[in-house]
Amino acid sequence: MKACIMCGGEGTRLRPLTFDRPKPSIPIMNKPSVVHLIEHLAKEGFNEIVITIGYMAEKIEESLGDGRMFGVHIDYVYEETKLGTAGSVKNAEEYLKDEPFIIVGGDHVMDLNLRNMYRYHETNDAMVTIGLMSIDDPREFGIADMDVNNRIHRFLEKPGPGEIFSNLASTGIYMCCPEIFDWIPENQQYDFAKDLFPALMNDDRKINGMLVRGHWTDVGSAHAYREAQRWMLESLPGTSIEGNFKTKNSRIVGPLKIGNNVSVGSNSALVGPIVIGENTTIGNNVLIGPYTAIGSNCVIKDNSRILSSYIFNDVTIGNNSNASGSIIDNNTVIGKNCSMENGTVIGPRVNINDDSTIHSDVKIWPEINIKAGSRIKETIIDPEFE
């Protein structure tokens, strides 16, 4: 079965994490999130995949290659100018024109039964079947109203106040018949939700909805990213430790996934679910709390506490510092006695000098140097990176 993954976007809402990588390359449990997506598609039987790429395209090709290591075949289609969601898929028409196919966003993280959805689409005569989820607050989504036969009669993108006629949100997962290509103009900005669906409905073409259950999120914001990591960590099957793990009388409670060559000093506690990459060193009296992922080549020094945080690669955290509900990007160095409060997002190559506090929800752009003893209450943007 065929799938198309849209990976062209710039992911501006996820800055500073998208300066060095596109959104689908942000790590979840130390792997680019799009790798998890490909693994899921492969498991569901979608083994011919075409990916539309644009912003930092090479990073995506680097981690997926031709798909062989996931048991699938991947082709790439490059988007020169911004074509919108449907416009970018039109670009991939030559790979998709022979049979029904699924479209997903490159930032989707899910465990949904896509095979069922595909079957359902095949046995109905709709041009598109949209995966719908019941969501309490669907303002950030397209919303749909469907009848008892699953036909969608109304669709509204990002409803305003007083316009929320349904709590069925579009997941942006679309099962499509190749005939949709006849409706999408070439080399022109064109969108599924804003252009194609209204056009099809106006012409009385059938669009169906299918209610899906399970985990699904698009990693569109730091909040959604934390949520996606959390339930991926929750699904860790047990404890696996690769070779050369060293520890002295520390308390280790699973589930954990620990890479090669990790060491933990004495009197520390690791309370899962936790994932730690290779060559990471954890000092003495360190508490690493549940729902934490730490990448490779990190150093977490004595007496520090890391709780529900996502630390990428080559990060150093000094003595007696703590991070809670934080995201810290590659090559950032944090001094001693520092505190990263809940919801902070620290970009790559940042230096936070000793005795500093980064207050909750503050974001710090790449390569910023925070002076010792600072109290940072507002996001720091570097105009050079805009």
Name which of 218 and 355 has its Cβ closer to ligand GN1. 218
Least spacing, CB of residue 263 vs ligand GN1, in Å: 41
Q: Look up residue 82 and give its amino acid.
A: K
Only one of the segments 43-51, 73-81, 163-171, 272-280 lies at the binding site for ligand GN1 (rule: CB under 6 A); that segment is 163-171
CB nearest ligand GN1: which residue?
Answer: 142
299-328: contacts with ligand GN1 (CB under 6 A): none
> Among residues 144 and 262, whose Cβ is nearest to ligand GN1?
144
- Please identify, using beta-carbon distances, which residue of 228 and 376 lies nearer to ligand GN1: 228
HEC letters along the chain: CEEEEEECCCCHHHCCCCCCCCHHHCEECCEEHHHHHHHHHHHCCCCEEEEEECCCHHHHHHHHCCCHHHCCEEEEEECCCCCHHHHHHHCCHHHHCCCCEEEEECCEEECCCHHHHHHHHHCCCCCEEEEEEECCCHHHCEEEEECCCCEEEEEEECCCCCCCCCCEEEEEEEEECHHHHHHCCCCCCCCHHHHHHHHHHHCCCCEEEEECCCCEEECCCHHHHHHHHHHHHHCCCCCEECCCCEEECCEEECCEEECCCCEEEECCEEECCEEECCCCEECCCCEECCCEEECCCCEECCCCEEECCEECCCCEECCCCEEECCEECCCCEECCCCEECCCCEECCCCEECCCCEECCCCEECCCCEECCCCEECCCECCHHHC
Q: How far is the CB of 82 from ligand GN1 (least distance, A)?
A: 12
- 52, 91, 166, 170: residue in contact with ligand GN1 (rule CB under 6 A): 170
Binding flag, residue 79, ligand GN1 (CB under 6 A): no
Does position 172 interact with ligand GN1 (CB under 6 A)? The reply is yes
Positions 188 through 227 that interact with ligand GN1 (CB under 6 A): 191-194, 218, 220
Q: Between residues 86 and 323, which has the closer beta carbon with respect to ligand GN1? A: 86
Q: Tell me whether residue 224 or residue 287 sits nearer to ligand GN1 (CB atom).
A: 224
Stretch that binds ligand GN1, among 74-82, 185-193, 207-215, 365-373 (CB under 6 A): 185-193
Which region, judged by CB under 6 A, interacts with ligand GN1, from 168-176, 199-207, 280-288, 323-331?
A: 168-176
Nearest approach in angstroms of CB 234 to ligand GN1 is 21
Q: Is 142 in the site for ligand GN1 (CB under 6 A)?
A: yes
* Cβ closest to ligand GN1, residue 161 vs residue 238: 161
**91-120 residues near ligand GN1, rule: CB under 6 A:** 105
Q: Cα-flanking dihedrals φ and ψ of residue 70, to 5°?
A: -110, 5
Among residues 86 and 276, whose Cβ is nearest to ligand GN1? 86
Size of the site for ligand GN1 (CB under 6 A): 15
Q: Which residues bind ligand GN1 (CB under 6 A)?
A: 85, 105, 141-142, 157, 169-172, 191-194, 218, 220
